[in-house]
């Protein structure tokens, strides 16, 4: 835990208003650790008008200390990094002609998010059946894919995306939708 002292009057006002809203909604279970005088102070605070809360804050008498859970911060930052990698992958796949069906299988993104990125990147949706590459290229893709996946279990969307991306980087003259169709041409 990291201790923070909140001194900014706007932030102190926001925190007090948040506390008042919690008390009004009955979400004040942390008050059970307070003594009677402290409970009465919180009750009195909850009954103040907004202008009186501002006057109280401006008096300089209110001190707010907060604790930042460093473990949750670290976890949140890791998640943010993971989300950033997933967004980079999504952009790569859209820019290299991945179909909507393919994107839905590879990403946990809604159709609205996918459409938004397509629009932002100015990449339209393709319609119709994806053609396969010529036989020689398909055989090279199959050979490379089997070599990359031999003895490996593809157990997550991320690992499948990584394999598809590295395979596409090797066969970058083939669109991702064509590559994906080639890899899956013998699957039912």
Domain final residue pick, 40, 68, 96? 68
Same domain, 43 and 103: no
At residue 143, the pLDDT reads 93
Q: Are residues 101 and 138 in the same domain?
A: yes
In a domain, 46, yes or no: yes
Give the model's pLDDT for residue 91: 92
Low-confidence ranges of the chain (pLDDT < 50): none
- For residues 144, 150, 156, 178, the Cα torsion angle rounded to the nearest 10 degrees is 20
Q: Range of 10's domain? A: 2-68
- Domain count across the chain: 2
**The pLDDT of residue 83:** 65
- pLDDT confidence of residue 106: 93
pLDDT of residue 125: 77
* Terminal alpha carbon distance of the chain: 53
User: Is the domain of 57 the same as that of 95?
Assistant: no
Shared domain for 98 and 160, answered yes or no, is yes
According to DSSP, the residues that pair with 133 across neighbouring strands are none
* Residues 95 and 178 placed together within one structural domain of the fold: yes
Looking at residue 166, its pLDDT comes to 93
Site of tokens 């949706």: 125
């Amino acid at each position: 835990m990291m201790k923070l002292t909140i001194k900014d009057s706007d932030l102190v006002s926001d925190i007090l208003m948040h506390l008042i809203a919690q008390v009004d909604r009955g979400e004040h279970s942390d008050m059970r650790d307070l003594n009677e005088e402290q409970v009465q102070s919180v009750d009195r605070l909850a009954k103040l008008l907004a202008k009186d809360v501002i006057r109280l804050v401006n008096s300089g008498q209110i001190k707010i200390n907060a604790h930042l859970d460093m473990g949750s911060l670290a976890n949140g930052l890791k998640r943010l990094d993971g989300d950033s990698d997933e967004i980079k992958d999504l952009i790569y796949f859209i820019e290299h002609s991945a179909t909507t069906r393919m994107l839905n299988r590879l990403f946990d993104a809604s159709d609205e998010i996918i459409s938004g990125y397509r629009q932002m990147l100015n990449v339209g949706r393709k319609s119709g059946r994806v053609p396969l590459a010529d036989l020689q290229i398909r055989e090279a893709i199959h050979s490379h894919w089997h070599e990359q996946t031999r003895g490996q279990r593809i157990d997550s969307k991320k690992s499948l995306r990584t394999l598809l991306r590295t395979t596409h980087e090797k066969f970058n003259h083939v669109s991702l939708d064509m590559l994906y169709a080639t890899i899956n041409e013998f699957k039912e």
